[in-house]
Structure 1
Amino acid sequence: MAVAASAALAQEAAQAPMQRIEVTGSRIPTLNTEGASPITTLTSKDIKIDGPKNTEDLMNNLPQVFASQGAAISNGATGTATVDLRGMGAGRTLVLVNGKRLPSGSALTTAADLNEIPSQLIQRVEVLTGGAGAVYGSGAVAGVVNFIMKDSFEGVEFQANVSGSNHQQHSDEVQAVVNKKGFPLPGNKSFDGKKYDFSLLAGSNFADNKGNATFFVSHKHADALLQSERDYSACSLGASDPGFACSGSGTSIARINSWTPDASGNPRKYVSATDAYNFGPLNFFQRPSDQYNINSTLHYDINENARLYSDFNVHLYTTDAQIAPGGIFYGQQATLSYENPLLNSAWRTALGLNKPGDTATVTVGKRNVEGGPRNSHISDMSFREVLGVKGTIGGGWSYDVFGQFARVNHDDHATGYFSSRLITKALDVVADPKTGKPVCRSVVDGTDPSCVPYNLYTKGGITKEALDYLQAAGTNSGYTQQSVFGINLGNDLGAYGIKLPTAENGVGVSVGYEQRVEKLVLTPDFENQTGDLSGSGGPTVPVAGSYNVKETYGEIKVPLLDNAAFSKHLDLSASYRRSNYSTGSNTNTYGVGIDWQPVEMARVRGSVQRAARAPNIFELYTPQSVQLAGPTDDPCGGEKPKATQAQCANTGLPASLYGKVAENSTNQYNGRTGGNPNVQPETADTVTLGFVLDPMKNLTITVDAFRLKIKDAIQSVNAQSVFQQCLTTGNPLYCKMVHRDSLGSLWLLQSGYVEAGTTNIGSQGTSGVDLGASYRTKLAGLGGLDFTLNGTYVKTYTVENLPGMGEYDCAGLYGPTCNTPTPKWRHKFRTTWSSPYNFDLSLTWRYFDRVKNDMLDANPLLAGELDTKRDAYMASRSFIDLSGTYRFNKKMALSVGINNLLDKDPPIASSSSVGSSYGNGNTYPQVYDSYGRFVYANLTYRF
């Protein structure tokens, strides 16, 4: 369980002689493990108790961590697993391994990929949420996660893990609406979504214990889990007061304008209540994956002042991201002629084709259920090498000189799509002059002899040959590359007599230089670059760029008082970093902190820090393109718009089209996104103030208030917020960013979109309080009990999308604008019984406060018309975990456990409210336990 580092390290200090170490947040080697900024620590024992055997789940269990990319995301998956401290975005959390930064996760994202870090190899994790930009550089705006790995192992250790979900379907509310719709419901699941992994760790000292070589290899496999396997995700929920209803996509059976074929092949009116397609069940709730990790560490003491060290790792991760079938998504425009032999007289009349030579431009849709689902096969292979020398030189100066190189090769291959450029050809059908049979016009005129007609007008009229012609695949490939050179020097200057007469310890200093080069290349094929894959969300544009940064930094820690009245210890610290980027940006980051222990049982700590983050390659160099990145609703659509004609006119809708804009049943609209070479670095001010209390033996309590404010934040403009402001206020600042197409929509044509590109938005920030507690007591003859608590109260979570727009507060909210839930209170409380009978037993309570729909907020930047009262809140959740470990002997141990012991369902909401990229299956599986009861077992054998 995560507790304050000061408490955990103090316990370790009682068991072993103190030595100079480097604690996350400072590069000054010191005997004093306490500091001005709060650090949360997880040990290898905590990791084993938590049960999940991947690093992503381990981090998501911490209250300070918010949802990010992971295995529960299928639509929009990057294939990576990222960590997001304080909800400021994964790109603002710096991830380190043994104090050295990880590279960008893939060619699709610059955030580090936690899949590169096998949980079995972790010795401990240190999480610093107070900001550490001056110590570690760009990326540490919200904090630092430092994974300390096992690198001096002796012996051989084998681990085998197996886990899966056990779930009883008991969502009566959703089962009722699914039954009403006539969709299938799943039965109870005894053990699905299975995962297993095996690892081997081996190490040995050599050269009379001057060196150590440690080797690790592992393989992990995860089975797929579909949304159809849980009752609460058996259909995509829509709004229908007073509760839910099964909704779906308007792209389902063949649809031409408002017509669809009946059983006789004649046109009838499309009825969304019965004809909409249930796209949810085929989406992956848990993506299947295979993962291989190889790690090798080596160190050799050349002499007493120099240690040569190496850290090498290779990581291969493959996964499939499956979503519902593609096809011709409703909105595709096509021109039909009277001469089309697939049209009978009823169809011609319905489409206004009255005589030879007549043509009609129609809106077409047809889900490719005959061809199967869309799938993106993602593969990432990374390797990373760190080589350095560290030790001490004259006068007690510690040094570390290192070089680091890392590269991640990315490939994804998408299948199950139609080619947009071929659709229009396959729909433009005429009679063959020789045979009279239906053929493509492009066959007759010779422009495309391979074309095969696609028959939308008769049920069962689609042939395999037509599918073979239309189906298309797309590939993205690329890589991200990082090289780092660094040198660091540090010392306690007390040896030189540099210390205050009121202090026992000398002044500590650390100085260093670092040079880093970042490069990223993403190369889509023709189909992706042109957006030719129908239903892919828009074109994937090529990205290529690089930059280098040269940085100098320094730290100082000045002990002011030791063993004085009302001051057992009083330290003052400061840090500064200057960064010069090849892109022309120069940043200054700095911080000051105080650590005061007035009496033995109490300590006060605080810090003020300025961090800076320069734009990354995506934010600088991604070309502008229209994607499905627009607002989550257009109340001007449909025959009976929810917005008034005057409001819709604000958004550019002509009066002649009011009530005539095609409604988008999936609430997916276009946004124009991309990078911006003129974007400037963002700055962040972080303030922390807290105290540590040891009021009695074996009891430690930590309370730390925090406030983080990012100014000129580098971010995409929130399209929903911009559109809502234009709709309700008519402010030209926002309305000039809304562009309707010639049909009045924001989705039918590429010319309809809301501007949502990268810029320096106004601001983003959060404030709150972290609470930690740890208590240990002995039970007479029965071992001991440990109680630990880690909780976070979020007071504010504010965003200002554009300068001068005003800000809104998402604390305690979720929904179309705030997206992922931000519970005001979240905690993890654990009780562990360490018995004298070779086994330990732990009970953990994880709690999430309820969240309100942001459209119910009084702030006009959030307020909107809620489609259903059922979406007003996502209820609070408590998850109970039980785990135990039995040690057969010194060599073998077995750990078993059940997370979500009571099989609680996650809170659910309709698809119009669960609109963010981290929403899936009518809930947020990256936030809540969403698969049911999770059962696991771990066998460890050492020899």
Structure 2
Amino acid sequence: MLNSKIAKSVRLALAFGAASTAGISANAIAAEEGADDVERIEVTGSRIKRTDLETATPVQVTSAEDIAMSGFTRVEDIMNNLPQIEASQTAFQSNGATGTATLDLRGMGAQRTLVLINGRRAQAGGIYTQSADINQIPAALIKRVEVMTGGGSTTYGADAVAGVVNFVMNDDFEGFQVDIGGSAYQHDNDNEYIQGLMDERDFEYPSGSDGFDGAAFDFSATLGGTFDGGKGHAVGYVTYTKQNELRQGARDYSSCALNAAGTACGGSGNAVIPNFYVSLPTETGGVDFGEDMYEYWTLTPDSGFTDSVGNVYNYAPINHFMRPDERHTFGLFANYEINEHFNPYVETMFMRDRTTAQIAESGTFFDTSYVMDFDSPLISDAQREALAERFGIGSGDQFATYIGKRNVEGGPRSDKLEHNSFRMVLGTRGELSDLWTYDVTAQYGSTSSSSAYINDFFGPRITTALSANGESCADSDGCIPYEVFTYEGVTSEAAGALTGTAILNGVTEQIILGGFVSGEFDYTLPSSDYPIAAVFGAEYREENFERTADEVYAQGLLLGQGGTTKSLEGSYDVTEFYTEVSLPIVEGKTGFENFTLDLAYRWSDYSTSGSEPTYKAAINWDVTSDWKIRASYNRAVRAANNGELFAQQSSGLWPGVDPCAGANPELTAAQCANTGVSASQYGSVGKSPADQYNGFFGGNPDLKPEIADTITLGLVAEPIEGLNFSLDYWDIELEDAIGNIDPEIIVRQCGITGDPVLCDDVQRTAGSGSLWIGDGQVVATDINLGQLHWEGIDLSANYDFEVAGGTLSTNLIGSYFMTKEFDNLPGITESYDCVGTLNNGCFAQPEWRHVFTMNYDTGSFWRATLKWRYYGEVSDYTGDDTLVQDGISSQSYLDLKGSFTINDYTNVLVGVNNIMDKEPPLVGGSLSTNGNAIAGFYDTLGRYFHANVTFKF
């Protein structure tokens, strides 16, 4: 029997558990020496229950203790500290925020990271994302987080291309526990570089320390125990979190918006004192951007026109650097053993989250060409004189203008985002025989979410208030003339009358019916005494998505939105059958302490794209009791989600640069001609002061599934007592990648190659050649792209030893990135590697990143933890004359924590992260995700102080 031959597996689990799991609960090894039974557990990556935690697929585990010692209460912050994860949607985003928190393994995109809760997938996060929102997961109830990097489609189905993050909840908790915590940031503002740039512009900024800010309060209560003589067990929890806002004006390094190069404080031409593009009207009523056909003017204090030179608005200070957030969660986990064959269970989770994403005031944004009467009462005599002199017009004539006026009189824009998620699992498990068990579940997950975008300029009202384009303010009830042509002439009352609100509501639904049987056959291979183990299962999954936009969103009537936001409705379902087989080949031989072959296969039939198989082959080779070799091959598949398939195509904004803009364009005249720039326009196409350009985005119902092949090869060992490590090489190649080409890459590659496939998607405004004024845009809808190739090595090591009467435990988790290659359009565009490269097409992925932890346990009432988080340099920036032309230097952050046991019921944790108050490395406006930084990846706000009190009874 297997149970009489598992001592070596158990010993390996004990020896290597910390190396790849960083702290596993004691129920993983439940038997004492000589006992007949050892409890088996289901480890992420397989549904076969095992006694050995080390599987053929690498799994990195973060324990509940690690989570508590981190000091973070946002699960996103906890996970983003792992070297294998890049920052995705976080609390440090405002413009374009979804209000959710998502995970991005390996930087392959959140849509390629599958999130599980107790081994079952989580539902889509809301109206703006198809990825799971991990805000719904209470940090206080997490037992451990298992991160499996590499394909997991054979076990869990689609989306597990980069890997799986499985949150294992503490559903066997006993007792009553209350956690109360608080945190805040502190920073000394002394960045001489950016302060000097702001001094040149006479911008205001903070200096020195202004105390604590960005404070948060957290509360959680957990109650659990058995009932009915131990047959049943239930755990209930409730949490509350309140996070205060922090604006960019609270830090000197984010108090101005750097230009694309990062060499000067930029800003928006949509200014406090308005700017105007003025010309005679074209046949279509637009501004004529032909050579010497227009003027770029602003206002003088006496309401005359003058050339606009450097009249830009510093929109940064009022933007959120960290959004305010208020969140409630509660839930219940329960099971009851009626008999050995029937053990029903239930899991329920509910979350309500409200956050506000605030950005700078709205404005006219040069969005519409207004045709104005020369005799308009809004125009001053001085302005009429300038118009007559420059364009030769007079009474009865008209002129055309684009207006850039910031609505400082009306206050900032904000997007009020609310998410309500509900998840329920009903199931039963039990024994079918002495060797086989079953598990059958019905799962329902739903997220209702909404966006209320307030205080943004309502386009039609601007036209009416200007009496432009044939509209009349005098004939419209309640209309207040928009005195934009008068110096400081706009009142708060007039500004308030011009704003509107857009409403977006949506619901995601996920329905899953599934079950599997798991066990062992009563026979073995001739070379082994271990029986063959297997899993056979089936699953039906339905994903529904509905998003309803009001007319304001759908028609893009708010000028600060950058385009339309359309309604979306779509659904698909998939029927799947899968199997896993574990074949023990040989054990107990010299050089083959244990050798096992694992095989898996899944057949998936999608209602949208047909059937696709996935499969896996893996080996576990215990060379000795202290040395293990593991290897695996996975075929993974990701079918397009509802957003990628059914999103209506609409306009939006993309951050970056136009390489054909400015007086000295990056591309040559011939190359820019490929992108639609005429010879007369070359050198005079205007740059966007805000580094934002128009794009056209949307879904595609004809998308094919992505296909990925993942290879891993690893070594796990305990070479000496107290030291254990795992070293794993991984390689992921993906074909038919679903996505849109970065609009800037489209423009650049069109210019360089002249390929019509790309150049047809660059549509410049007639006359000006602009991609940000008027109807200029880059078309970048979803398509099946070419290939992605990711490759790297993960290291995890632990060493424990006695010192000064206590135990010093050390742990290193590191990841070395070797390849991060994009080949978007093979044969048309050149492939490029993003490892160690920082540009508009590449995230700041260093080659090496690690977390090194030292924990000293005195064996008494206190212990201390010191953590070193390291980000390697990103040094291969390809631009010239920029803030980061030499890349980003290596970054190190030190965290110090102390834990104190006051009595049997009370524990106190205090700590500070980023002790040295390191600022995030600054980058230019086109590279920044928020506040001139790669926010949420590098430490963003300075020192982070936190304290927590735990009462447990």
Pick aligned residue for 2:298 from 248, 256, 260: 260
8 Å CA contact 1:226–1:285 kept in 2: the answer is: yes
Note the alpha carbon deviations across 1:689-731, whole angstroms, 9 max, x for none: 0101100112111110010111001111221111101122323
Q: Shift of the alpha carbon at 1:128? A: 0.3
Pick aligned residue for 2:466 from 427, 430, 453: 427
Runs of 4+ in structure 1 off by over 6 angstroms are none
- Determine if the alignment matches structure 1 residue 577 to structure 2 residue 593: no
8 Å CA contact 1:36–1:595 kept in 2: the answer is: yes
Pick aligned residue for 2:907 from 887, 893, 899: 893
Instruction: Report the 3-state secondary structure (helix = DSSP H, G, I; strand = E; otherwise coil) of the residue aligned with 2:44.
Output: coil
Q: Shift of the alpha carbon at 1:626? A: 1.9
User: Which residue of structure 2 aligns with residue 873 of structure 1?
Assistant: 887
8 Å CA contact 1:692–1:703 kept in 2: the answer is: yes
- Determine if the alignment matches structure 1 residue 755 to structure 2 residue 779: yes
Letter in structure 1 aligned against 2:903: N
8 Å CA contact 1:717–1:755 kept in 2: the answer is: no
Note the alpha carbon deviations across 1:606-655, whole angstroms, 9 max, x for none: 101100010000111111112113x6212333455454332221111223
User: Which residue of structure 2 aligns with residue 433 of structure 1?
Assistant: none
1:459-858 matched pairs, under 5 angstroms: 459-493=487-521, 496=522, 498-629=523-654, 632-639=656-663, 641-748=665-772, 751-779=775-803, 782-804=805-827, 805-818=829-842, 820-852=843-875, 854=877, 856=878
Note the alpha carbon deviations across 1:544-580, whole angstroms, 9 max, x for none: 0111110000000101111111100101001110100
User: Which residue of structure 2 aligns with residue 906 of structure 1?
Assistant: 920
The 1:185–1:16 alpha-carbon spacing in structure 2 relative to 1, beyond 3 Å, is farther
1:126-275 matched pairs, under 5 angstroms: 126-187=146-207, 188-238=209-259, 244-252=263-271, 253-257=273-277, 258-272=296-310, 275=311
Pick aligned residue for 1:452 from 475, 480, 490: 480
* Unaligned ranges ≥5, structure 1: 431-439, 857-864
Letter in structure 1 aligned against 2:849: R
Structure 1 stretch displaced more, 392-401 or 742-751: 742-751
User: Which residue of structure 2 aligns with residue 325 of structure 1?
Assistant: 361
Note the alpha carbon deviations across 1:140-182, whole angstroms, 9 max, x for none: 1110011111112221100001001121112121122222221
Note the alpha carbon deviations across 1:473-498, whole angstroms, 9 max, x for none: 111101100010011101022xx1x2
Q: Shift of the alpha carbon at 1:735? A: 1.3
Note the alpha carbon deviations across 1:63-88, whole angstroms, 9 max, x for none: 00011001000011000000110100
Pick aligned residue for 1:417 from 418, 442, 456: 456
Report the Cα distance in structure 2 between the residues aligned to 1:125 and 1:367, rounded to whole angstroms.
Answer: 46
Q: Over aligned residue pairs, what C-alpha RMSD do you find?
A: 1.9
User: Which residue of structure 1 aligns with residue 287 of structure 2?
Assistant: none
1:262-411 matched pairs, under 5 angstroms: 262-272=300-310, 275-351=311-387, 352=391, 354-411=393-450
Structure 1 stretch displaced more, 108-117 or 258-267: 258-267
% identical equivalent positions? 38
User: Which residue of structure 2 aligns with residue 435 of structure 1?
Assistant: none
Q: Shift of the alpha carbon at 1:356? A: 1.5
Instruction: Report the 3-state secondary structure (helix = DSSP H, G, I; strand = E; otherwise coil) of the residue aligned with 2:259.
Output: strand
8 Å CA contact 1:746–1:754 kept in 2: the answer is: no
Report the Cα distance in structure 1 between the residues aligned to 2:204 and 2:502, rounded to whole angstroms.
Answer: 32
Q: Shift of the alpha carbon at 1:10? A: 10
Structure 1 stretch displaced more, 725-734 or 204-213: 725-734
TM-score under structure 1 length normalisation: 0.94
Q: Shift of the alpha carbon at 1:870? A: 4.1
Structure 1 stretch displaced more, 8-17 or 767-776: 8-17
Report the Cα distance in structure 1 between the residues aligned to 2:720 and 2:22, rounded to whole angstroms.
Answer: 13
Report the Cα distance in structure 1 between the residues aligned to 2:350 and 2:375, rounded to whole angstroms.
Answer: 61
Q: Shift of the alpha carbon at 1:131? A: 1.5
Q: Shift of the alpha carbon at 1:304? A: 2.1
Report the Cα distance in structure 1 between the residues aligned to 2:214 and 2:30, rounded to whole angstroms.
Answer: 42
Q: Shift of the alpha carbon at 1:869? A: 5.2
Q: Shift of the alpha carbon at 1:7? A: 7.4
The 1:744–1:209 alpha-carbon spacing in structure 2 relative to 1, beyond 3 Å, is same
Q: Shift of the alpha carbon at 1:389? A: 0.3
Q: Shift of the alpha carbon at 1:909? A: 1.2
Instruction: Report the 3-state secondary structure (helix = DSSP H, G, I; strand = E; otherwise coil) of the residue aligned with 2:849.
Output: strand
Structure 1 stretch displaced more, 558-567 or 416-425: 416-425
The 1:346–1:636 alpha-carbon spacing in structure 2 relative to 1, beyond 3 Å, is farther
8 Å CA contact 1:516–1:550 kept in 2: the answer is: yes
8 Å CA contact 2:532–2:583 kept in 1: the answer is: yes
The 1:338–1:931 alpha-carbon spacing in structure 2 relative to 1, beyond 3 Å, is same
Note the alpha carbon deviations across 1:481-516, whole angstroms, 9 max, x for none: 0010011101022xx1x2123223211100100001
Letter in structure 2 aligned against 1:211: G
Q: Shift of the alpha carbon at 1:427? A: 1.9
Report the Cα distance in structure 2 between the residues aligned to 1:643 and 1:684, rounded to whole angstroms.
Answer: 36
Report the Cα distance in structure 1 between the residues aligned to 2:744 and 2:750, rounded to whole angstroms.
Answer: 10
The 1:475–1:14 alpha-carbon spacing in structure 2 relative to 1, beyond 3 Å, is closer
Report the Cα distance in structure 2 between the residues aligned to 1:239 and 1:477, rounded to whole angstroms.
Answer: 35
Note the alpha carbon deviations across 1:370-400, whole angstroms, 9 max, x for none: 1111100000001111000001112421110
Letter in structure 2 aligned against 1:73: Q
8 Å CA contact 1:174–1:231 kept in 2: the answer is: yes
Instruction: Report the 3-state secondary structure (helix = DSSP H, G, I; strand = E; otherwise coil) of the residue aligned with 1:280.
Output: coil
Letter in structure 2 aligned against 1:525: D
User: Which residue of structure 1 aligns with residue 8 of structure 2?
Assistant: none
Q: Shift of the alpha carbon at 1:408? A: 0.3
Note the alpha carbon deviations across 1:425-461, whole angstroms, 9 max, x for none: 222269xxxxxxxxx95245x4x33432211222221
The 1:869–1:83 alpha-carbon spacing in structure 2 relative to 1, beyond 3 Å, is closer
Report the Cα distance in structure 2 between the residues aligned to 1:9 and 1:423, rounded to whole angstroms.
Answer: 62
Report the Cα distance in structure 2 between the residues aligned to 1:604 and 1:218, rounded to whole angstroms.
Answer: 43
Instruction: Report the 3-state secondary structure (helix = DSSP H, G, I; strand = E; otherwise coil) of the residue aligned with 1:105.
Output: strand
TM-score under structure 2 length normalisation: 0.93
Letter in structure 2 aligned against 1:924: I
User: Which residue of structure 1 aligns with residue 49 of structure 2?
Assistant: 29
Q: Shift of the alpha carbon at 1:604? A: 0.3
Report the Cα distance in structure 2 between the residues aligned to 1:353 and 1:86, rounded to whole angstroms.
Answer: 61
8 Å CA contact 1:668–1:747 kept in 2: the answer is: no
Note the alpha carbon deviations across 1:266-295, whole angstroms, 9 max, x for none: 1111112xx211111111111000000001
Instruction: Report the 3-state secondary structure (helix = DSSP H, G, I; strand = E; otherwise coil) of the residue aligned with 2:41.
Output: coil
User: Which residue of structure 2 aligns with residue 442 of structure 1?
Assistant: 472
Instruction: Report the 3-state secondary structure (helix = DSSP H, G, I; strand = E; otherwise coil) of the residue aligned with 1:213.
Output: strand
Letter in structure 2 aligned against 1:121: L
User: Which residue of structure 1 aligns with residue 280 of structure 2?
Assistant: none
Q: Shift of the alpha carbon at 1:14? A: 6.5
Instruction: Report the 3-state secondary structure (helix = DSSP H, G, I; strand = E; otherwise coil) of the residue aligned with 2:582.
Output: strand
The 1:652–1:505 alpha-carbon spacing in structure 2 relative to 1, beyond 3 Å, is same
Letter in structure 2 aligned against 1:342: L
8 Å CA contact 2:576–2:604 kept in 1: the answer is: yes
- Equivalent pairs counted in the alignment come to 909
Letter in structure 2 aligned against 1:458: T
Report the Cα distance in structure 2 between the residues aligned to 1:544 and 1:537, rounded to whole angstroms.
Answer: 22
8 Å CA contact 1:213–1:299 kept in 2: the answer is: yes
Q: Shift of the alpha carbon at 1:239? A: 5.7
Report the Cα distance in structure 1 between the residues aligned to 2:680 and 2:263, rounded to whole angstroms.
Answer: 34
